[in-house]
């Protein structure tokens, strides 16, 4: 059984930073993609960022580029999302998700369409 457990959400002022963490377990395959999806109030879910396990290649949606950084600690089975210069548009529930059959991923949208497992989510609220 795959488990993805997010932490690190909370309330932050605009311009501030947060670091989300996702602890994952339940799979051992060497090739997977793991990352973050968010769902803002009244909006559809959108991919934010992902990272490939094999070579560490990272992908970001346009709104995240230059502000967010995804990283993975293979020894700890954890993936992180460092979010800087947050603004009210970043307010959302952030979900950790994994694609266990990543095939060809060229964009975050490719990752989103291949997700096999989701975490429960962690809420990020950015006050203006």
CA gap 57, 80 in Å, rounded = 14
Reply yes or no on whether the pLDDT at 114 is more than 90.
Answer: yes
Q: pLDDT for 55-108, tens place per residue?
A: 999 999 999 999 999 999 999 999 999 999 999 999 999 999 999 987 788 899
Which contiguous run of DSSP H or E holds residue 47? strand 46-52
The bridge status of strand 46-52 relative to strand 58-60 is antiparallel
At 1-51, the pLDDT tens digits run: 999 999 999 999 999 999 999 999 999 888 999 999 999 999 999 999 999
At 17 the pLDDT is 98
Dig out the tokens for 33 from the structure: 């993609």
Instruction: List Cβ neighbours of 64 (8 Å cut-off, separation of 6 or more).
Output: 48, 49
- pLDDT given for residue 101 in this prediction: 86
The pLDDT of residue 128 is: 86
* 22, burial (CB in 10 Å: exposed 0-12, middle 13-18, buried 19+): buried
In this prediction, residue 105 carries a pLDDT of 87
pLDDT at residue 124 above 80? Answer: yes
């Amino acid at each position: 059984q795959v488990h993805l457990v997010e932490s690190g959400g909370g309330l932050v002022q605009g311009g501030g930073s947060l670091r989300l963490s996702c602890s994952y377990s339940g799979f051992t395959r060497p090739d997977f993609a793991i990352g973050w999806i968010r769902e803002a109030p009244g909006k559809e879910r959108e991919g934010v960022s992902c990272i490939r396990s094999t070579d560490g290649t990272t992908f970001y949606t346009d709104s995240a580029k230059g502000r967010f950084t995804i990283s993975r600690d293979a020894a700890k089975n954890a993936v992180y999302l460092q979010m800087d210069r947050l603004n009210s548009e970043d307010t959302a529930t952030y979900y950790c998700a994994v694609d266990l059959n990543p095939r060809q991923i060229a964009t975050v949208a490719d990752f989103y369409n291949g997700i096999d497992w989701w975490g429960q989510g962690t809420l990020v609220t950015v006050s203006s």
